[in-house]
Amino acid sequence: MNKNLLSENDITQIFDSNLLHEPIEISNISNKGRLVELMKKMISIRFVENKISDNVADGTVKCPAHLGVGQEAIAVGLAEHLCKDDRVFGTHRGHAPYLAMGGGIYELFAEVLGKEDGCSKGMGGSQHLFFNKNGYYFSVPIVSGTVPIAVGAALAAKMDNKNGVSICFFGDGAMEEGTVQESLNFAKSHNLPVVFVCENNFFASHMHILERQPNQSVARFAEAHSIKNLIVDGNDVVKVSNISKMAIEQARRTNEPFFIEAVTYRWKGHVGHRDDMDVGVMRSKDLGIWKERDPIARLETALIENNIITNVEKESLYNEIGDLINYEWERAKKATFPQLDVLEKLVYFSNKSMR
């Protein structure tokens, strides 16, 4: 591979699912409290998604829900470095970035249930999330749809001159859309402060990347557009955080785009709650190996081995987060549905005053 292609790990290790099962390296991090925060965030995201998953299974949640269980470390590691002027764009698999940026659990639950208190006022469901308190976030399910949008958001940030940065999450499948290539070229040739984050989980619905592309790594596309890039173990929250810090700081300082390929694996099917069956494709064997690279377990074990938390503390943390999530779920179930007249009133922004 090209020598400009940096990597925190040996790239071959990252792509070998039999490796990197051990606890992550945390000895060089002085602020251990920060690591506990990262752990809490990841656990919380996983519990939220498992809650949604259970309710997809029993039919309570009807909207298509694309769960990112197993991929939590990427959004969580990156969100550490975001500021209020930053803008983040997600995909159909958008719960984790939303929650990592501080999006409310209650508002997410209400949204997937189609309730008025939802983060998109019950108008979007799981696939269309909106949040603009700590920075700006939205996600949509048209594959690649937000990639040029993020580039435009970076253009606006550059014009504002306030050091805002734009972040774009997308999948390995999105790399196959022409608009992504166009966006990379435009971002580089105009030097726009955008960090492209490709969550390479090897699949686009039922198709493995090697059935769709000649190479299982996507960083080559950034290389082709002369965009600095790194491949990272997406299931190591510390490594993701380190690389994100560098990428985001560079974009802030120099307006240079950056491309991160975060290698990961999703534990659930493409859409919905099942984890043994992926839109007709059985992945049971690989899935078992990838579960050994669990981003949460790898951090937890490291924290316990380094005597930063005890097993007892971990248990009580789990209970605390579990209770909170149950509480928010019950609350969301009781929330009201949107008024029927919003169907027509919310079509044009200039009409909103009619409300």
Partner 1 sequence: MNNKITYAKGILTAHQYLLTKYKDVFVIGQGLWSPWYVGQTMANLDKDFGRDRVIDSPVSENAVTGAAIGASIFGYRPIVVHPRLDFMVLASDQIVNEAAKWTHMFGGQTKAAVTIRGIINRGGEQGAQHSQALHSWYAHIPGLKVVMPATANDARDLLISSVLSDDPVLYIDDRWAYDDEEEETEIVEIDLAAQGPKVKRIGSDITLIGAGYSAFQCLHVADVLKKEGISVEVIDLRVINPIKHAVMIESVKKTGRVLAVDGGWSNCGLASEILAGVVEAINPNQLKSKPQRLTLTDAPAPTSKVLEEIYYTTEEQIISRVKNILKNL
Ligand X SMILES: Cc1ncc(C[n+]2csc(CCOP(=O)(O)OP(=O)(O)O)c2C)c(N)n1
Q: What is the contact surface with Mg ion in residues (CB under 5 A)?
A: 171-173, 201, 203
Tokens linked to 59: 């039919």
**Which pairs count as long-range contacts for 207-210, CB under 8 Å and 24+ apart, including other chains?**
207/173, 209/172
Question: Rounded distance, CA 91 to CA 106, Å?
Answer: 20
Stretch that binds partner 1, among 23-31, 81-89, 198-206, 310-318 (CB under 8 A): 198-206
Q: Residue 172, interface with ligand X (CB under 6 A)?
A: yes
Q: Residue 206, interface with partner 1 (CB under 8 A)?
A: yes
Considering beta carbons, is residue 97 or 124 the nearer one to partner 1?
124
Question: Rounded distance, CA 4 to CA 218, Å?
Answer: 15
Of 1, 281, 282, 354, the one binding partner 1 (CB under 8 A) is 281
Please provide the distance, in angstroms rounded to a whole number, between the alpha carbons at the two ends of the chain: 57
Tokens linked to 58: 């029993």
Of 144, 146, 166, 183, the one binding partner 1 (CB under 8 A) is 144
Of 1, 57, 142, 282, the one binding ligand X (CB under 6 A) is 142
Q: Side chain identity at 117, as an amino acid letter?
A: D
Interacting partner of 122 out of ligand X, partner 1, Mg ion, none (Cβ under 5 to 8 A depending on kind): partner 1
Q: Write the interaction track for ligand X spanning residues 205-224; mark x where CB under 6 A is met and - where it is not.
A: x-------------------
Question: Rounded distance, CA 146 to CA 170, Å?
Answer: 8
Count how many Cα atoms sit within 13 Å of the Cα of residue 98 in the half-sphere of its side chain.
31
Considering beta carbons, is residue 165 or 209 the nearer one to Mg ion?
209
- Crossing angle (nearest 10°) for helices 32-57 and 311-334: 40
| SS3 of 182-249 | HHHHHHHHCCCCEEEEEEECCEECCEEHHHCCCCCCCHHHHHHCCCEEEEEECCCHHHHHHHHHHHHH
Q: Residue 171, interface with ligand X (CB under 6 A)?
A: yes
Q: Write the interaction track for partner 1 spanning residues 89-118; mark x where CB under 8 A is met and - where it is not.
A: -------------------------xx---
Interacting partner of 93 out of ligand X, partner 1, Mg ion, none (Cβ under 5 to 8 A depending on kind): ligand X
Residue numbers 2-61 binding partner 1 by CB under 8 A: none
Pairing of strands 166-171, 194-200: parallel
* Residues at the interface with partner 1 (CB under 8 A): 62-64, 114-115, 122-125, 127-128, 140-145, 173-174, 176-179, 204-207, 211-213, 270, 279-281, 337-338, 340, 342-344, 346-347
* Residues at the interface with ligand X (CB under 6 A): 91-93, 141-143, 170-174, 201, 203-205, 270
